[in-house]
Structures are given as structure tokens and as C-alpha cells.
Amino acid sequence: MNDSALLHAFNITKSYSGVQALKGASFELRAGEVHALIGENGAGKSTLIKIVAGAAQADGGEITLNGRSIAHNSPRLAKSLGVAAIYQQPALFPDLTVAENIALGLEPAGLWRRIDWSERRRRAAELLGLVGARMDIDAYAGDLTMPQQQLVEIARAAGAEAKILIMDEPTASLAEEDAQNLFRVIRRLCAQGAGIIYVSHRLEELAVIADRVTVLRDGCTIETKLMAEVNFGELIQLMVGRELSAVFPKRTVELGGVVLELRRLVCRAAGVSGVSLSLRAGEILGLAGLVGAGRTELAGTIFGLTPPDSGEILLRGMPVRITSPAQAIACGIAYLPEDRLRHGVIPAMPVSANITLASLARLSRFGSMDFRREREIAVDYARRFAIRTPAIFARVSTLSGGNQQKVALSRWLATKPSVLILDEPTQGIDVGAKSEIHALMCDLAAQGAAILMISSELPEILGMSDRIAVMRGRTIGGTLNRSEATQAKILALALGHRN
């Protein structure tokens, strides 16, 4: 271990719901350095920094903070040891003022301490000035824009006088000028001896600010290098380095006519700005992009969760107006959401009820529910997709992730959709279920369904898609054909980096 190491994390493991997020990641941070942490979506960056900050507990491995070995980390303990963090999701209190949001991050957490409001406000103004933000310190944080919230987080972290400062995509929503201010602050903190863990997808930025870079892939540390000694091409190679691990059952299908067409679709509330796309019968269109690129938001806009402000949605050449999921379903659009437990299924309800929930109208005989038909449908899908469940009346929460996903998918197939939007369809499920779902997608495409597949897993995108659209900055950054697409090309489009 290096003498000047502020943080030493060794062989950290962590799993969520049976999915291994970290499989032995190691990381070291020295005083006075900016250490970048990069990797694809789902490589484990966020999990690793949460463990360091005490927001999540590691399953195994060792953490040493400031030379002190940590057994049970918590936000409180980490804070007292000089760790401060900026998460990707601003962790601000919407009902409290900017000044108080900053103060709550800086002050000790004691319940009986006296609040010095004028000191709070003075300090907040000073810190906001430091990061170059102009805003009202008495405004509610909930009323701020995304970039403003990010600046508040940065000011809070800058004021924490932390020895270890963690920043997860701090510039994701910042304008150029604010980003420059941020770099200035970072350099100042480093000069004072702080160490900074810097997570970012913007490689150009890393060249400017980072001293060292560690690449994570599939929950493992791949390599740590001096930033000055690597170029972007190498970094991208390290990030995507994995081979196609699974054999994808993709078949060539005779493509039919255009089923779904989007023309300059805009939804300000969801942040979809001018998306044009077309999707043909039998086609699987992969939608790639980084987190926050607007893929899920686009799906929500097509599905009527956040109706579009302008632009057109055409189904088989006919413009349709979709303002609610019910209308989308009536139009033959189905959407398998990303968050399985919150949106995809209703965990506390039985398998059968979940499968028929979106097609209840088909089961209605004069309003009365046709239970026999429901059972038939449920048993049919359970057989066809080999859903492993003790009974079709078992609650979905008792199933494994993969089987839950099959239930969610069954729900949408029961509506007989012509357009199927799949949002991270195989995320967090085991390998067997994954290939079953892939096979299913191919069958559906062969039967003439048009499939839009959002995925953060590049091998899946490459293996399953006929065509790949890459989103960047809430619109389509480029489209690649199956034959020309490579991981590096997709990543380059997603990062907006041209070789």
C-alpha cells in the first residue's frame, strides 16, 4: 500500500438481487490526485463509489480510509472520515433552501447543535461563488433546474473540506463555462491535498483533469493507467474489451413495410428533442446510448406516458395521437419498461393476473371476468415461455428475476402488439433466461412484429439488432447497419467522439 493513499479498496464484491454488480474491484486513491473511474453502463462504477461513501454495504473485500480499516461503512461514518460524494442523481432536499441543502452536507449531523443561519447563508454564498454559480440561496432546491442542482451539489462537496471527494458524472448537465469552473475548484482542492474520484463518460474531459484512470468492466478492475500515457482508442478498447460472450440466435428475416415512424418527435417535459426514426415489420432496431441520452424517455413518449409536444407518430403511415398508455395499447404498441419491479410487473399480484393485466378488455364478457379464459392464457404463456413458477396463482414476487421478466413480456404479447418496445429486456437476469428471451424476440420478429430494443449491453445490441440507432444528447446521434456496427463505433457515437 502506498503511504500517501487516502483510500484503498481491495477486492470489493457486491450483489443486488442475485446479480453480481462487483466481482472483485480494487481501487486506490492518493492525496492530491484526480483519479478517473470509467467503464460502460453497468460496469459497477456507481456501486463502487456508493460503497466507498457508505451509501451501500459491500458483501466482501477490504476498505481502508485514511489508514483506518472500515468494517461497517455508513454515510455517517464515511462523512466523519472526510468522504464527500456527488451522486449522479442529485441527493438534494426539494423542500429546503439552497443554503440549507449546502449546510446539511457540511455540518456535523448532531441533533442538539444550534443552527447559525447567517453563517449558513454566508458560507453557501461563498461556496456558490467559488463554483461560479449565480443563484438565489433562499430558493427551494426543488425549484432549481438540473444544472443548478448539480452546481449546488458541487458547492456542497467543495465546502465539505473532504479528504476524499467522489464525483459521479458531475458535468453531465453542466454548460461549458460551469464545467471550467468545476475544474478550477477541483485543482484547488487537489492542491490542498484532497483526492478526487472522478466518474465520467466524457473522455475529453478526463484528458484535461485526470491524473490517473482506472477502467472497470463487468464488476472487475481491468487496469489503472497514467492518463498521460493512454489515448482514447486504448481506453475505449479497455472498456468494451469483452468478447461476445453469448451466441445470439439472430435470424435473418424478410423485412416488411414501415410500421412505426417518428417525425421530429419532441417532448420537452421528458427531454426528447426532435427524434426521427422508422421501424419495419420483422425488424429489430437496437437503441444504444449512454445513461441519460434519452432512450427511456423516448420510449415513454411513444407509449403515451409523457405525450409529445410536437412532431408526429405514424402507424403504418397513419398519424396517431397517443396521450395515454391505454391509447398506445389500443394502437397496438407495447412497452416493456426498464424498472421491472415498479413498472413491469405488479409483484404482489399473481402470475395470471399480471399476464392479463394489459389485455383485460379481451377477458370481459359483459363486464364480467372470464376466469377460465384467463387461466388458459396464463397457462399458455407459462408453458410457451417456460416460466418456472409453482402455480399460475403464485405471486410474481416469489419468482426469479428472469421469470418475472418473462411474465412482464407475456403481459405485452397477450395484447397482440404490432410494435414492441423493450427497455433493457435482459437486464439483471441470469444467462439462461437471457437467451430464452433472445430466442423469443427472434420468433416475434419472424412473425412480423416490429421491435425497438433499448439496451446498454453492447454485445446484446450488436448480436440482436438489424439496425442500431445511437442516442446522444436526447436525440439520435447516428444510425449503423448490422454489418458495419462495432462496439467501438457505437461507443464513439454515444460519446460524441469521432476518430
* Residues numbered 156-175 forming contacts with other proteins, rule: CB under 8 A: none
Q: How far apart are CA 295 and CA 303, in angstroms?
A: 13
366, burial (CB in 10 Å: exposed 0-12, middle 13-18, buried 19+):
exposed
106 or 253: CB nearest other proteins? 106
Mask of contacts with other proteins, 16-45, x by CB under 8 A?
xxx--x-------------------xx--x
Residues 352-391 that bind other proteins (CB under 8 A): 353, 356-358, 360-361, 363-364, 367-369, 371, 388-391
CB 141 within 8 Å of CB 92: yes
- Which of residues 105 and 282 has its CB atom nearest to other proteins in the complex? 105
Q: Which of 158, 160, 8 is nearest to 82 (CA)?
A: 160
CA–CA distance from 435 to each of 221, 248, 355, 405 (Å)?
27, 7, 21, 12
For strands 310-315 and 258-267, give the pairing: antiparallel
416 binds other proteins (CB under 8 A): no
User: Per CB under 8 A, which of residues 130..159 are in contact with other proteins?
Assistant: 136, 138-140, 142
- Coil vs helix vs strand at 27: strand
190/345 with CB nearer other proteins: 345
Q: Is 269 in the site for other proteins (CB under 8 A)?
A: yes
Size of the site for other proteins (CB under 8 A): 107
**Residue 351 to residue 341: CA distance in whole angstroms:** 13
Applying CB under 8 A, does 332 fall inside the site for other proteins?
Answer: no
Q: How far is the CB of 71 from other proteins (least distance, A)?
A: 18
Site residues for other proteins, window 177-236 (CB under 8 A)? none
- Whether the CB-CB separation of 154 and 92 falls below 8 Å is answered with no
Cβ neighbours of 485 (radius 10 Å): 21
Min dist. Cβ of residue 390 to other proteins (A): 5
Check binding of 324 to other proteins (CB under 8 A).
Answer: yes
The stretch among 125-133, 235-243, 280-288, 336-344 that binds other proteins (CB under 8 A) is: 336-344
User: Considering only residues 1, 71, 115, 191, which one is a binding residue for other proteins as defined by CB under 8 A?
Assistant: 115
Q: Exposed, middle or buried, 10 (CB in 10 Å: 0-12/13-18/19+)?
A: middle
Q: What is the largest CA-CA distance in the chain?
A: 77
- Residue 397 contacts other proteins per CB under 8 A: yes
Closest CA to 6 of 193, 157, 223: 193
CB of 411 to other proteins, least distance (A): 7
Sole binder of other proteins in the list 2, 4, 67, 109 (CB under 8 A): 109
Q: Which of residues 275-304 bind other proteins (CB under 8 A)?
A: 291-292, 296-297, 300
Q: Establish if 427 lies at the interface with other proteins (CB under 8 A).
A: yes
CA distance 477 to 481: 14
The least CB distance from residue 231 to other proteins, in Å, is 26
Angle at 415 between CA 412 and CA 420, to 5 degrees: 50
Q: 260, 287, 329, 491: which one contacts other proteins (CB under 8 A)?
A: 329
- Strands 164-168, 195-199: parallel, antiparallel or unpaired by DSSP? parallel
Q: Please report how close the Cβ of residue 141 comes to other proteins at its closest, in angstroms.
A: 9
Comparison of 249 and 271: residue with beta carbon closer to other proteins: 271
Q: Find all residues with CB under 8 Å of 39, minimum gap 6, and list them.
A: 45, 215, 216, 217, 239
Query: Whose Cβ is closer to other proteins: residue 113's or residue 498's?
Result: 113
Tell me, residue by residue from 235 to 254, as one string, x for binding to other proteins by CB under 8 A and - for no binding. --------------------
Interaction with other proteins in 64-93: which residues (CB under 8 A)?
A: 75-76, 79-80, 85, 87-93
Measured in Å, how far apart are the chain's first and last C-alpha atoms? 38
Nearer to other proteins, 110 or 317 (CB): 110
Length of the chain: 499
Judge whether 259 and 419 are in contact, CB under 8 Å: yes
Residue 404 within binding range of other proteins, rule CB under 8 A: yes
